[in-house]
Structure 1
Amino acid sequence: MGGGLAAGVGAGLALSIERQLNQYGSERLPLGGGYAAAGDGWHASGSGLVRTIWHVPTTKPWVALTFDDGPGPKWTPRVLDALDRADAQATFFVVGKRLVQHAAVVRDRLQRHEVGNHTWSHCELGKLDAEKAFDQLDRCHNAIKQVLGRDATLMRPPWGHLGGAALVAADRMGYDVTMWSYVMPEQNPDGLVDDVCANAKPGSILLAHDVGRDSRLAVVDRLDRIVAGLRAAGLELVTVSQLMAARSADASAVEARA
């Protein structure tokens, strides 16, 4: 099923690009949601290279637990309570305006965790031009700096929708784009813990939420058991940046042996 889906996505992307080539020609494609044109002025302020991470190949038995869409006054404190009880770390991809709105709830409690950029208003980045995409990321970045006193280095697009313009904006801000390799099965609460523990592997990036529809409470309610189950399987929870650093360490060790 996964191979068929990947093939379908690849075919769809190829068809989309072909249509744009037919419409605009090969010299300049529109800098919009679907495609970033080479040579556009927005590129000059970036490196021209954006890392996008789904999974981190590593020999270390580490996984990264991530939470999207918060913070919120009801669920986020419960998530933080569970992580504190387990002495575990996570990465929170925050919505800027929610962070500002609920700053008093999480300001001190997020200090031991990693915080990434999930846009200012949880918008559809894939439909924005470069200027508007940059504004969304920049406003959220500034909110994180204002509330938590640090600079984010990771961003995650809402719903995982990422167009060329958003990549240009991420490059301009020096972000690594963090996706995920596993989504918590919130619609299957009875089998959720077993499913997470069976599918998590070293280098996995796990996606959950700390704001949203009621079904998402399935993860919040079972977070103690999820963490315990992952540890029983020999896995430890780290931040996304720690996971990425583990890959760099593995690569350096391989080079040293070569």
Structure 2
Amino acid sequence: MDGSGGVPPRRHTMPRGVDRRALLRGAGLLGCGVGLGAVGAASGAGLLERRLPILGGPASATVADRGRHPGQGRLDVMWSVRTPDRLVALTFDDGPRPDWTTFTLDTLAAHDVPATFFFVGERVRRHAAVVRGRMGRHEVGSHSWRHADLATLDADAVHTDLARAHAAIAEVTGQQPRLFRPPYGHLGGATLLAASRFDYQVVLWSLQMLESQYPGDPAGHARDLAARVEPGAVLLAHDVGPADRLVALRGLPQFIAGVRARGFRFVTVTQLLRAGHPIG
């Protein structure tokens, strides 16, 4: 009797016709000095650690740490914002580089449009003169150190990458990045964990330039894109890249005019966040 109402404890027996040694061999336990009793004693802990990727790697958003865990608080990911106001955030990825970034900044200044730039840290360091003193009403975010696919790296590697990018962007622009956009929009658990350590807001997008659909037609591209803008949208553009992306940059004046004609106002991502609730 075990004190649970007089019911004898249930015995776990091997099903008939099952070879005990064959079962152990199939589980990879025979020959390793591990028997069924040892498996029970381990309560599955050792097996899980060996068989499941729960203690690290690109997919894991946690680490094995009995001390202070590096993940703190919460991390938000946003694509757009739910708001009744006709607001849109224009964002640029992959810069800075000479020519394109300079052209983009000149166009935005001429039309009094604020934007959010997700800079690559290594490029900020190398082309500091392009952006130093020019960010004015614009805001900056991190787009990693060298535009690697962070979703293939573990948390330590991602943290090192983001730390280098953060330091370079802050030093050159004078702004502490508070926003982060992962290269290619790829988010692994390790990337989320590393981003949480910087208290970043992760920003993706709800609308993007359609350059390849309008080769050599900046005005047509601008008209189409302006018609697609919705309240609270985050628009992805690039100030670095292949030549076909110039269609979007050359059509920026027409795009800005078209969006404003529909009653929209351009804001930074942070201003957009303050105006509503992230949609995720």
Q: Normalising TM by the smaller chain, what interval?
A: 0.7 to 0.9
Which 5+ residue runs of structure 2 have no aligned equivalent? 1-47
Distance, in Å, in 1 between the alignment partners of 2:177 and 2:116 is: 11
Distance, in Å, in 2 between the alignment partners of 1:45 and 1:98 is: 28
**Structure 1 residue 115, shift from structure 2 partner:** 0.3
Which residue of 103, 108, 125 maps to 1:83? Answer: 108
Q: Secondary structure of the residue that 1:29 maps to in structure 2?
A: coil
Q: Secondary structure of the residue that 2:212 maps to in structure 1?
A: coil
The equivalent of 1:74 in structure 2 is 99
Distance, in Å, in 1 between the alignment partners of 2:64 and 2:82 is: 33
Amino acid at match of 1:142: A
**Structure 1 residue 46, shift from structure 2 partner:** 3.3
Amino acid at match of 1:34: A
Preserved contact between residue 46 and residue 174 of structure 1 (Cα < 8 Å): no
Which residue of 250, 253, 264 maps to 1:221? Answer: 250
Q: What TM-score comes out, normalization by structure 1 length?
A: 0.82
Q: How many correspondences in the alignment?
A: 226
Q: What TM-score comes out, normalization by structure 2 length?
A: 0.76
Which residue of 141, 149, 173 maps to 1:116? Answer: 141
RMSD between aligned alpha carbons? 2.0
Determine whether 1:245 maps to 2:274: yes
Amino acid at match of 1:50: L
**Structure 1 residue 41, shift from structure 2 partner:** 6.5
Distance, in Å, in 2 between the alignment partners of 1:221 and 1:206 is: 16
Amino acid at match of 2:263: G
**Structure 1 residue 47, shift from structure 2 partner:** 2.1
State which structure, 1 or 2, has the greater radius of gyration over its C-alpha atoms.
2
Q: Secondary structure of the residue that 1:63 maps to in structure 2?
A: strand
Which residue of 198, 208, 221 maps to 1:183? Answer: 208
Preserved contact between residue 155 and residue 177 of structure 1 (Cα < 8 Å): yes
Deviations 1:96-136 (CA, angstroms, capped at 9, x unpaired): 01111111121111132010000010110100100110111
Determine whether 1:133 maps to 2:162: no
**Structure 1 residue 39, shift from structure 2 partner:** 5.8
Preserved contact between residue 116 and residue 268 of structure 2 (Cα < 8 Å): yes
The equivalent of 1:212 in structure 2 is 241
Which residue of 38, 46, 51 maps to 2:71? Answer: 46
The equivalent of 2:51 in structure 1 is 24
Amino acid at match of 2:269: V
Which 5+ residue runs of structure 1 have no aligned equivalent? 1-20, 249-258
Distance, in Å, in 2 between the alignment partners of 1:91 and 1:32 is: 31
Q: Percent identical across equivalent pairs? A: 47
Q: Which deviates further from its counterpart, 97-106 or 67-76? A: 97-106
